[in-house]
A and B are shown apart, each in its own frame.
Chain A
Amino acid sequence: MAEPRVVVIGAGPAGIRAAQALVAAGLRPAVVDEGLCSGGQIYRRQPANFKRPYEALYGFEAKKARAVHTTFDDLSNAIDYHPETLAWNLSGNTLHLVRNDIADTLDFDALILATGATDRLLPLRGWTLPGCYSLGASQIALKAQACAIGERVVFLGTGPLLYLISYQYAQAGVDVAAVLDTSPFSGQIGALPVMASRPSMLAKGLYYRAQLTARRIPVHTSVIPLQIEGETSVSGVRFRTGKGKEQQLVADAVGMGFHLRSETQLADLAHCEFDFDEELAQWAPVADVDGRSSVPGVYLAGDGARILGADSAEITGELAALAVLSDLERPVSGQRVQKLRQGRERMERFRRGLAMAFPWPAFLARGVEYDVLLCRCEAISAGELRSSASQCGAPELNRAKALIRVGMGRCQGRYCGHAAAEVLADMRGESLRDVGRLRGQGPVKPLSCNTRMKVSK
């Protein structure tokens, strides 16, 4: 039998650990990654001519980041690495790649999708103003470019990243005007026992928070964000405190995000079945505990499968690789699989705690005012979606997209899809499940009209 062709998409912690396990079993996997260099988002590397040490870049995670990077670097002769390469489409067992406008194909027997996540956003008046960025963007600016997104920054949203990034900015000497968390403090206290499944993670979260307090950075919980202010550029944030008092902050930048959402376009194009996850309040590709999707030969790992975080991504990356090996009838240590599954279960418990502590504020998305832009790409307001859906009839999201173009732009609904679903569900008095999800369409990201097929293979 010919050597099985295994392709890993993504070179973050999940993809790297998957590749490592495949190489350890004697295979030579291909690793396709959009990044200039490996590491993914959370362990994103700085450019080669930057000099900050790991400790400065990754803090408590320096050791893990170094381990993940070193692992990948050590694999360089044992894998076929395709950096700066977009897997733009997929058809049957053929993956379509493009790099610098040169297209190529890659056939596979097994495909591991470790495509990661992006910030989960909801619209807020003023969120398209220059100066407003996602939380992820705020971190990338700092980590990969040694820049702050502004001189005086407000961080707004909810989730563990909110505190981590606020802390990182403060640590870098940036003026953090305030941290505005939409989740109630009581929920965070209530979730503590659940989150105790990962004591070190919990301790880090508490540490970031204590550091913010020590630096006298105001942290507000139960916040209702009202508006990002500014004429042509961010000049401040208006919000209501948990106690109902309206406040205004002066700032030239805002970092906002409400936890993460999975990148699932390729899973969709691979015809993977999706199901609505009530706990995550999002659609996710169906997968078994080891990462087998509903499509034979397609495996899911890391945050692209389920938002469980970077540590979990290392586990599920390896698990998916072991599932591939096992399905290829290669020897796999049952003990190792057992251990990984247990680790994953611990991550699941912690995630439940996080969901309790930092709930997705659906009410904010549902309450978005008529004239606020919902879809950044196509500049479609929440009101346009509402009136089109009520006048023209849109029982589900794809119909709304067809009628009013919400989610139809360059980003294909990555940044408006969740809020659009909430608005539509609210309008129809239905659940998120009922209004469905935006179907993925190729290309995964914009494809140059000058793309040419590679001449010789």
Chain B
Amino acid sequence: MLGRFVRVAEQDRPTVELEVDGSPCQALEGDTLLVAVLSQRNTLRQSEFGDGDRAGFCLMGACQDCWVWTPTGERLRACTTQVSAGLRVMTHPPGEDVWPNLA
């Protein structure tokens, strides 16, 4: 499956290049990070407690179930983050070189 979310309108927007888990991911200007990732992929993050993947839930910054990592250890709430060119994110936690040690 190519992505979870289906665009139904507003598709004639300029594209923005992101990187998800090291692979290129094309988003559209005005996308939230959540929409950008989920229009190309199935999941956003892993539950911290081993119960599987998550892909957000409320989309309004309330449930906090869409926090993703960046390769340098930053945390981003995908549903309230606007995409910008060159943004890099990961759907899994970083290694020890990034957390707790600073990259």
Residue ranges of A at the interface with B (Cβ–Cβ < 8 Å): 34, 36, 41, 46-52, 56, 118-119, 128-134, 136-137, 140-142, 145-151, 172-174, 232-233, 252-253, 263, 373, 376-379, 409-411, 414-415, 445-446
Query: How many Å lie between the Cα of A131 and that of B1 in the bound state?
Result: 13
User: In residues 40-82 of chain B, which contact A (Cβ within 8 Å)?
Assistant: 42-44, 47-65, 67, 77, 80, 82
**Interface size classification for chain B:** 35 or more
- Give complex CA distance A376, B53 in Å: 12
- Could you tell me the dominant secondary structure of chain A's interface residues? loop
Count of inter-chain pairs, beta carbons less than 8 A:
138
Q: Which of A50, A56, A136 contacts B60 (CB 8 A)?
A: A136
Cα distance, A106 to B60, chains bound together (Å): 24
In the complex, chain B residues whose CB is within 8 Å of the CB of A136: 58-60
Q: Give which listed residue, B30, B47, B60, contacts A137 with CB less than 8 A.
A: B60
CB of A128 within 8 A of CB of B8, answer no
CB–CB B4/A131 < 8 A:
yes
Bitwise, B1-31 to A at CB < 8 A (1) or not (0) is 1001111111101000000000000000111
Cβ-defined contact, B30 with A50, below 8 A: yes
- Which of B52, B59, B63 touches A129 (beta carbons < 8 Å)? B52
A-B contact pairs, 18 of them (CB 8 A): A34-B61, A46-B30, A51-B10, A130-B4, A136-B60, A140-B59, A145-B35, A146-B9, A147-B7, A147-B8, A149-B5, A150-B6, A232-B52, A233-B4, A253-B4, A263-B62, A379-B49, A379-B51
Closest partner residue, chain B, to A410 (CB atom): B64
Q: Is the interface of B mostly helix, strand, loop or mixed?
A: loop
For A46, what are the chain B residues with a Cβ–Cβ distance below 8 Å? 10, 30
Provided the pairs A378-B49, A411-B63, A415-B57 are in contact, do residues A233 and B42 lie with their beta carbons within 8 angstroms? yes
The closest CB in chain A to the CB of B82 belongs to A36
- With contact pairs A52-B10, A148-B6, A414-B63 given, residues A232 and B57 touching in the complex (Cβ less than 8 Å): no
A132 and B5 contact, CB distance less than 8 A: no
CB within 8 A of B32: which of A34, A119, A145, A446? Answer: A145
Do residues B9 and A172 form an inter-chain contact, with CB atoms below 8 A?
yes
**18 new A-B pairs (CB below 8 Å) besides A50-B13, A128-B52?**
A36-B80, A46-B10, A56-B9, A118-B62, A118-B63, A128-B54, A132-B57, A136-B58, A136-B60, A142-B8, A145-B32, A145-B35, A147-B6, A147-B8, A174-B6, A376-B63, A377-B64, A445-B62
Contact between A411 and B62, CB atoms less than 8 A apart? yes
A141 & B57 in contact (Cβ 8 Å cutoff):
no
Centre residue among B39, B47, B48, B55 by max chain A CB count within 10 A: B55
Within the complex, the shortest CB–CB distance from A32 to chain B, in Å, comes to 14
Check B58–A119 contact: CB distance below 8 A.
yes
C-alpha spacing A46/B20, complex, angstroms: 25
Picked from A36, A263, A410, the residue with its CB within 8 Å of the CB of B67 is A410
